[in-house]
Amino acid sequence: MNKSSSKQPNSWLEKAEEVLIRYCGEFSPILIEKAKGSFIYDQDGRAILDFTSGQMCSIFGHNHPAVVSAIHKACDHSLHLLSTMLSPPVVELCRQLVSLLPEGLDKCILVNTGSESNEVALRMAKLATGGFEVIGFTGSWHGMTAGSQSHTYSHTRRGYGPVMPGSLAIPAPYAYRCPVKHCEGKCDNTCLEVGFEMADKQSVGAYAAFIAEPILSAAGIIDLPGPYLERLKELCEERGLYLIFDEAQTALGRLGHNFAFERDGIQPDFLTLSKTLGGGLPLAATITSKEIEEECYSRGYINVTSHISDPLPAEVGLAMLATLEKEKMVERAREQGDYLKSQLLELQKKHECIGDVRGRGLLLGVEIVADRESKAPAPELGHRISDRCLELGLSMNIVRVKGFGGVFRIAPPLTVSKEEIDLGVAILDLAIRESLA
């Protein structure tokens, strides 16, 4: 049959599904016409409060004026160059990033996505060590390309064939539901010690790296405590593992620090940045030491992609760093994050289905359960609440943790006001009440 003669769909979503590969299960039922600040607007002009900052990327709000201005500036200069050619914004962004970081994080490369930034770190770690084994956390998310996906242990593995050789995983320190059934409410590092013992038994003696998010987001907002990170660093150093911190969602002020690792002073060998760095545009970076970079260079390291070191996203990155400082985003994240968390804790007192509230800064998690005593999973309830929130004008992302219930991943922009927080919490309150009725 000729495509033009097939039955014409009635709604915009049906028309979209005729030509789009469905890459995320079901598409959202609303068509977004524009976005500004803390809100997105559908085709009817209805304002929807965005508590996920888009895909966790628009950390300073949608279409921040500094980002828009940087895009216009780039359009007057250059958008794209040959991969071997550098431009002033690329050099300056790398210089500024390195200047924000301690010694030992001295050399930077600019790519496009979080997946790419992790691929760079993984490739360099393998080349520098001569090993290939990489340890990650259960529930982690590091990207969708072959290497980063191999060390992603959320729900994206089944059905796609073999992953990269040397992919090992240890339990994440999910204190609310201890993975080794040992402690409750506060991790004592038993899962870490047991995890490394298991990894050692599986290893063929070719360790390269350990990759971790300071807060595991897709795993349900699991914050790695300071003592845990300290011991993790020791265990990595004992084995010659380079430590990679994937700060896709936790950098540029979101947790109340420029970078999440600053809280505990546990410095990685590689720092990868993405989502928040571009403020809504595709921009990512990998940063490592002079020594590792020199070792990789001497061994012929190569990582050429079509849009590596592009001037346009680099210009936006510069605007993001300037805004981070000018608008005191770190302080805003602390203040607004404390306020939002206090409001969520008050909501927990009202609703038995809120089992746990966790996270820090403006990256918070709310776990939905049948009741707090049994902690029985209630994923269907979580999705009913999420759907009702959207109908009422609040975009909320719920991640389903395999084997457990659902966890709301709450990450409004750092520019969110207290009035907007109050509005979001009020809508969530109403959605819970109506979903339980």
Q: Where in the chain is the domain with CATH 3.90.1150.10?
A: 9-63+329-436
Give me the pLDDT at residue 182, please: 83
Q: Is 12 a catalytic residue?
A: no
Catalytic hit among 149, 249, 267, 343: 249
Does the structure show a pLDDT above 80 at 314?
Answer: yes
Q: Is 43 a catalytic residue?
A: no
Catalytic hit among 334, 360, 388, 409: 409
DSSP codes, 183-252: -SSS--SHHHHHHHHHHHHH--S-EEEEEE-SEETTTT-EE--HHHHHHHHHHHHHHTPEEEEE-TTTTT
CATH code: domain 9-63+329-436 is 3.90.1150.10
The tokens describing 25, both together, are: 């299960």
DSSP codes, 310-356: -HHHHHHHHHHHHHHHHTTHHHHHHHHHHHHHHHHHHHHHH-TTEEE
Q: For residue range 146-199, what is the model confidence (pLDDT) as tens digits? A: 999 999 998 788 899 999 999 999 999 998 988 888 877 788 999 999 999 999
Q: Is 157 a catalytic residue?
A: no
CA 129 to chain centre: 27
Catalytic hit among 116, 141, 223, 360: 141
Q: Is 249 a catalytic residue?
A: yes
Q: Where in the chain is the domain with CATH 3.40.640.10?
A: 67-326
Mean pLDDT, to the nearest integer, of 56-67?
Answer: 98
Class of domain 67-326: alpha beta
DSSP codes, 249-269: TTTTTTTSSSSGGGGTT---S
Q: For residue range 352-382, what is the model confidence (pLDDT) as tens digits? A: 999 999 999 999 999 999 999 999 989 899 9
What pTM value is reported for the model? 0.95
- Average pLDDT value over all residues in the chain: 94
Which of helix, strand or coil describes residue 44? coil
Q: Residue for token digits 């050429």?
A: 304
- What are the phi and psi torsion angles at 180 (to 5°)? -110, 15
Q: Is 328 a catalytic residue?
A: no
What is the C-alpha end-to-end distance of the chain, expressed in Å? 49
Catalytic hit among 126, 177, 233, 275: 275
Q: Is 33 a catalytic residue?
A: no
Q: Are 400 and 155 in contact (CB under 8 A)?
A: yes
410 falls in which pLDDT band (50, 70, 90)?
very high
Catalytic hit among 50, 213, 310, 356: 213
Q: For residue range 108-153, what is the model confidence (pLDDT) as tens digits? A: 999 999 999 999 999 999 999 999 999 999 999 999 999 999 999 9
Does the structure show a pLDDT above 60 at 3?
Answer: no
Catalytic hit among 116, 133, 223, 246: 246
Mean pLDDT, to the nearest integer, of 326-338?
Answer: 98
